[in-house]
Structure 1
Amino acid sequence: MYENEKMSFLKKFINSTYNFKSYNYFISEKLSKAVLYLLLLAFVSSGFMVLKEGFSFNKEFSKMKTILNEEMPSFTLDNDELIIDSEMPIIYEEDNTIFVIDTSNKLDITSLDKYNRGVFIGKNELISKESSTKFTTIKYSSLELKNSLTSEYVSRIINTFGNIFIIIGLVLIFIFLIIGKLISVFAIMPLAALVIASILNKKLSYSNLIKISAYALTVPILLKTFLKLVGITIPVFFILYYGIGIVYLIFALKNIHLDVNESLEPIN
């Protein structure tokens, strides 16, 4: 019944979200088609997320340029310590985002607690807050600077190469998002599917488990993209992500009919 059928990407996308009988069709296809589906889905999903990050990075970058060029006092980073010839602390606030500079140790990272995003620049480190659970810390000592760093030099570098750095960063984010999804579909999800198939007494090849996993990830990927676009952060989201994927694996495997699929030839 499947040999003469063809499904477009959109039809596969829709069916994978609710029609568990369609998973019989999915495993009748070649493995390459399942991987291509996942790559297309990952490409679209990651593209939206990278665009959002791009707008966010550009907005923050513009603010940083304004602060460096017009508002921030001159500074020097020497011997792994930041020296600023100005009264401390210096605080900028806008739209639930805070930018704190304090080399006097009067304030610390707790200054960011009430804000969704922010940056704390201290005497020995820089801490960036991207969300309530995501922080990035850069110790000045890790930079291993051979010469002192001045505000004038940083301003020239940012004005000249800032946009290039953003583009490189976004490309790297995109690549890592794609790689993460490939790891999920080739390693994590098939192992879970293998356990579920064993419990349900369904003997399927590992390649078929990969095919099922590719389509079972549709809803988790869709949910992750939606949450990212609307700016909602869920702690330990990966548990929910793979939890939903495993639920789809269970229902998909329950609807797989081995007596049908064992005799099927892959669709070209």
Structure 2
Amino acid sequence: MNIFTRFVKSLYSPKEVAKYRFLGIGKTIFYVFIIMFISILPGIYHFSKMAATALEEGKQVFLEDLPSFTISNGDLISKQSSPIIIPKNNVTIVFDPTGDLSTNDVQEKGNSVGLLKHEFVIVANGQVQTFPYTALENMKVTNKDIDSFINSLKGVMWIAIPIIFLFYYLFVSALGFIKISIFAGIGALFAQTLGRKLSYRQGWRLSAHSITLSTIFFMLMDLLNTGVPGGMFIDWFVSLLFLYLTIREIPKPKIDA
């Protein structure tokens, strides 16, 4: 049975998946790698799009929206006499060479980037990262320098992104194998409760296919940028329910008269 057929049947048929307990372990491991790759495709798409957009908007912000400035000796220097706040699509830019605003003021803007008097601030999903200008040591940075830096980033972005996602893919795959291994142990308990004969290795094969439905569902939600409350609970519940129904389809061992 080819991998596409197994994939489709793993979306709706516990009875068919029950037959996969005799599948070769190599084919099962390959299937897991394919499923994990499919699961990160929306992330690859959204991250690549966001990175390209961020570079374009960053170029516009530093060259057109912000006044001329220089970062030197640990300070942001500009002729601008008052703070500037620029709302963008998904982020707010805060520019303050006066020292009137603090990191907390930037954090209150939600997802934001702040060029403050003495530090650079990034706020993403409530997490705050600050970078003091003193880290630049004796370097002098201007708008034009940042523009050149952004242009250089564009040149390496399409090399860096595949490398980043290769490591991300390996990380997600490792988590997938751990989850399947846990499910295989739970599957052994299901088999004992249902009076079915199932080894751990067979349970691992069934678990690898039982996560398909939940994985594809959350992949589609990621593609649509739609959050799912209690996502991890739903993921585990659906996968374990599918595994339970699959094990129930295994014939009971014959009892000698």
Q: Is the 8 A contact 1:193 1:249 kept in 2?
A: no
In the other structure, the counterpart of 2:215 is 221
Over aligned residue pairs, what C-alpha RMSD do you find?
Answer: 3.0
Aligned counterpart, 1:159: 151
- Residues of 2 paired with 1:227 and 1:207: CA distance? 31
Aligned twin of 1:204: 198
Q: 2:122 aligns with which of 120, 123, 127?
A: 127
- For residue 236 of structure 2, what is the amino acid of its counterpart? Y
| Aligned-residue identity in percent | 18
Q: Quick check: 1:195 aligned with 2:190? A: no
What SS class does the counterpart of residue 86 from structure 2 fall into?
A: strand
Q: What SS does structure 2 have at the residue aligned with 1:140?
A: strand
Structure 2: how far apart are the matches of 1:195 and 1:25? 19
Alpha-carbon offset, residue 236 of structure 1: 5.2
In the TM superposition, 1:52-71 aligns within 5 A as 52-71=46-65
Q: Give 1:176's aligned residue.
A: 168
Alpha-carbon distance change, 195 to 43 in structure 1, aligned in 2, over 3 angstroms: closer
Deviation at 1:28, TM superposition (A): 1.2
Q: Distance in 2 between matches of 1:203 and 1:144?
A: 63
5+ unaligned residues in a row in structure 1: which ranges? 1-5, 113-117, 261-268
Structure 2 residue 46 is matched with structure 1 residue 46: no
How far 1:20 sits from its partner (Å)?
0.2
Measure, in 2, the Cα distance between the counterparts of 1:79 and 1:111.
28
TM-fit CA distance, 1:54: 0.9
Normalised to the residue count of structure 2, the TM-score between the two structures is 0.79
Measured after TM superposition, the shift of residue 209 of structure 1 is 2.6
- Alpha-carbon distance in structure 2 between the residues aligned to 1:82 and 1:207: 61
2:225 paired residue number = 231
Moved more, 77-86 or 208-217: 77-86
Change (3 A) 1:111 1:165: same
Q: 1:245 to 1:99 in 2, by over 3 A?
A: farther
Based on CA coordinates, which of the two structures has the bigger radius of gyration? 2
In the alignment, is the contact (CA less than 8 A) between 2:94 and 2:114 conserved in 1?
Answer: yes
Name the TM-score, length of structure 1 as normaliser: 0.76
The answer on whether the counterparts of 1:54 and 1:170 sit within 8 Å (CA) in structure 2 is: no
Give the aligned residue type for 1:108. V
Would the alpha carbon gap of residues 161 and 233 (structure 1) be closer, same or farther in structure 2, given more than 3 Å must change? same
Gaps of 5+ in 2: none
Q: Distance in 1 between matches of 2:50 and 2:246?
A: 38
Q: Are the equivalent residues in 2 in contact too, given 1:120–1:128 (CA < 8 A)?
A: yes
Distance in 2 (alpha carbons) for counterparts of 1:258 and 1:126 = 62
**Residue correspondence of structure 1 range 252-263 to structure 2 within 5 A:** 252-257=246-251, 259=253
Taking the TM superposition and a 5 Å limit, the aligned residue runs for 1:62-81 are 62-77=56-71
Residues 94, 154 of structure 1: alpha-carbon distance in 2 compared, 3 angstrom cutoff: closer
Output the CA distance in 1 between the equivalents of 2:127 and 2:211: 29
Q: CA deviation at 1:26?
A: 1.6
8 Å contact 1:216–1:245 — kept in the other structure? yes
What is the aligned residue count?
Answer: 244
Deviations 1:105-159 (A, max 9, x none): 16331222xxxxx423153342243xxxx34532214994333351333221211
Matched to 1:146, the amino acid is E
**Which letter maps to 1:154?**
I
